Structure 1
């Protein structure tokens, strides 16, 4: 259902998840339409900085020295992490959305930001609303959003500033998250920018539980209606 929303800007934060170079340089982990995702995330970041919102950056760094390999975790032939390995520029946050001095940043070893003790400490003073963008939609974005909801943090999911390996993978992830986005909302980048500027926007809000039903041939249309 689409309803009007105002954000309490003094209790709102922007979280950018895993917007790293490997998603446009490593053939194994390319994100579909990544340049567009980065551009939209950069717009959100600029809007948040202008409005004085709290900004948080998260990046994936799979460091076996801190968290040893888990059962069944894929590794390279030499035993190194198969993704987000330390010691390579591929794990750098992309310059379009790079943190500025004073902005909070974590390097996490698992999907959800809440698996990182530094992030948990940051959330000792949680925002009421967390605006979320980043990659991958069904993995780190989804895990973090679900943990936000579990902790009573309302999530504004920016559907066109997230991404995955294919458009369909991304759209399915957004629809599945929206079905259980209790207390939260879904909008696009333009809508989020307007909300950050202090405007009222009509956004998709979850009513009830799992109202969205879709089949393979209706995924795109349902996603467009969010």
Structure 2
């Protein structure tokens, strides 16, 4: 696989990946995000964590324990945190400018929730002309509740797969996070892909 130059970790916040309200399979998503972070960091790829600012009273309300990023970013090492209020991490943020200013043309996306912020951010990247890689085992969501007269409960794993499919054939879906390779953007030439 051709390496990507950035990793965008979407909403990997304490409220969604720890405790009783965590998404199903949260341990897997956290583990895969750690793997992707380590590999991106080792190559000098751009690392961005997108952090949702939920409304007052929400589990991800700014300043609450649930709002905190679960895996601390290495800001001193040049990593970035982009705060958002929309599902799409590019909407009303400086994410696009940050990536373009760093020479990024391709990126991997991971995090939560598959059918909401992960999908919207991946689609936002595609619409802006970025190449997007989405590792199947590095994003997750909740079960979709039953809707009387419409459907039974849709298990989280199925909802995540449908979210991938809904992105169309422009996104590159890989089965496992360990298949994603990283390289520094052109400005950081000289580092090897991992």
Bin for the TM-score computed over the shorter chain:
0.7 to 0.9
Q: Partner of 1:38: helix, strand, or coil?
A: helix
1:111–1:144 CA contact under 8 A, matched in 2 = yes
State which structure, 1 or 2, has the greater radius of gyration over its C-alpha atoms: 1
Q: Partner of 1:113: helix, strand, or coil?
A: coil
Q: Partner of 1:114: helix, strand, or coil?
A: coil
1:137–1:170 CA contact under 8 A, matched in 2 = no
Runs of 4+ with deviation above 6 angstroms: none
Distance 1:39 1:129, change over 3 A: same
Instruction: Please report the TM-score for the alignment, with normalisation by the length of structure 2.
Output: 0.78
Further displaced range: 171-180 or 140-149: 171-180
Q: Tell me whether 1:103 sits opposite 2:115 in the alignment.
A: no
Distance 1:120 1:51, change over 3 A: closer
Q: Tell me whether 1:138 sits opposite 2:121 in the alignment.
A: no
Aligned to 2:60: 84
Aligned to 1:173: 160
Unaligned runs of 5+ in 2: 144-153, 183-191
Task: State the shift of 1:98 in Å.
Answer: 1.4
User: Could you say what the CA RMSD is over the residues aligned between the two structures, in angstroms?
Assistant: 2.3
Aligned to 1:66: none
- One of 102, 106, 124 as aligned partner of 1:129: 106
Task: State the shift of 1:152 in Å.
Answer: 1.0
